[in-house]
Structure 1
Amino acid sequence: MGRNQIIDSLLVELDGQAPSGYFLALHIRFAAPLMMFQTYDPVWSDHYTRNAYALRDPIVAWGISRTGPTRWSEIDLPDPFGIMAEAREYGLVFGVCVSCGPMTSRTIASLARSDREFTDQEIAEISGVVLKLHNESKPPDHMTDAEIEALKVVASGERYAAGAARLGISESALKARLAAARRKLFARTSAEAIQRAKDYRLL
């Protein structure tokens, strides 16, 4: 099973633990995550984004400043904008936040339900899934100069044939380098790989 398939199966597990949805930001670096997933009600998600709540959300603040798991009800940070109370109106009544990884590559997950608190056992299982997701999605420690050059050529707008000629390689060799770069950056398309490489200051 490839790493993307492993990540997909772990996301299915996470979804099964979050009756009212979840939010997951993997490897936050330079204020942006490598990957982000969320299954909350789109009405809440749109409202949250429109109001820039991520900058003021006590759950996010807790996840950035601490590691480990905690129930939302145990978060002791101020919520002057009443985000938690507002979330309850959208069915996000009980929740758990899990944070792991170093400050330079932090992963934060937040799962919700409307009926009851998460049990200790559920929190332990969720923490295990989030940690696996963090480890499976680890950004590349090393990309070859050839892979970076291939991304740069495509990012400049060159077509494969012209880009390959510019690098003095065959078109199939260029495509192979791009495929390797996509795998290392967990990208499904070259455009996505280019954006992630830029996010990680590789380009």
Structure 2
Amino acid sequence: MSERKVLAVLLDRLDSLAPMGYNVGLHIRFATPMIYKSSYPEAWVEYYNAHSYYLRDPLVFWGVGVEGTTRWSAIPLPDPFGVMKKAAAHGLNYGAVSSYGPITSRSIVGVSRSDREFSDAELAELKEITIRLHIEAKPSSDLTRAQIEALQYVANGDRNSSAAVRLGITESAFKARLNSARYKREARSTTDADKKARDYRPL
């Protein structure tokens, strides 16, 4: 089974576990996940992003600072911006969060429901899914942020010239980043490199 199919199966398990949706950020580096997926209510996602709550969310702070799995209600961090109350207003009344991996490449998964707290068995399942998502999505080599960006632009169909303009660098500098990323990923051809680059696109 391919990596993307395995990830899809694991996300299906999260769907079953979380009636109000889930939020997945895998291999967070430089404050950005390499893979991101959310099935929370669209209105909440839009509101959350519009207010940059990822910079203020106690769940994110907990996940970055602690490796483990817990219910939202058990997190002792302050919530001065009322993120959790606002989430509840969108139906996310109860939830759990799981964090796994080194601080330099942490994966954080959140799940929610409206009717009750998650059980201990459900927390154990969330932990297992988080660990498996982290392992399955592990990059095949350590790339720099610049190299990852270059691969993402290629995977999104950008031409080298337009990607360079968007990054504020010369086309030759962009090509150098792309070539070094391809070398690290052991891509044998442009087609192979583009296929590998898709690893860095949102699911």
TM-score, with length taken from structure 2: 0.76
Q: Partner residue of 1:137? A: 137
Assess if the C-alpha contact under 8 Å between 1:140 and 1:184 holds in 2: no
Is the alpha carbon distance of 1:38 and 1:182 closer, same or farther for their aligned partners in structure 2, counting shifts above 3 Å?
same
Aligned residue runs from structure 1 range 1-203, under 5 A = 1-141=1-141, 155-156=160-161, 177-187=189-199, 192=201
**For residues 94 and 38 of structure 1, what CA distance do their matches in structure 2 show?**
16
Deviation, 1:140, is 2.1
Q: What amino acid does structure 1 have at the position aligned with 2:160?
A: A
Deviation, 1:9, is 1.1
**For residues 142 and 196 of structure 2, what CA distance do their matches in structure 1 show?**
9
1:34-65 Cα shifts (integer Å, max 9, x gaps): 01000011001100000111100000000000
Q: What amino acid does structure 2 have at the position aligned with 1:180?
A: D
Deviation, 1:76, is 0.4
Deviation, 1:179, is 3.6
In the comparison of the two structures, how many residue pairs are matched?
Answer: 172
Structure 2 alignment gaps of length 5 or more: 163-174, 180-186
**For residues 16 and 83 of structure 2, what CA distance do their matches in structure 1 show?**
25
Percentage of pairs with the same residue: 43
Deviation, 1:30, is 1.1
TM-score, with length taken from structure 1: 0.76
**For residues 111 and 11 of structure 1, what CA distance do their matches in structure 2 show?**
11
Assess if the C-alpha contact under 8 Å between 1:4 and 1:186 holds in 2: no
Deviation, 1:31, is 1.2
Structure 1 alignment gaps of length 5 or more: 158-162, 168-174, 194-203
Is the alpha carbon distance of 1:25 and 1:19 closer, same or farther for their aligned partners in structure 2, counting shifts above 3 Å?
same
Q: What amino acid does structure 1 have at the position aligned with 2:62?
A: W
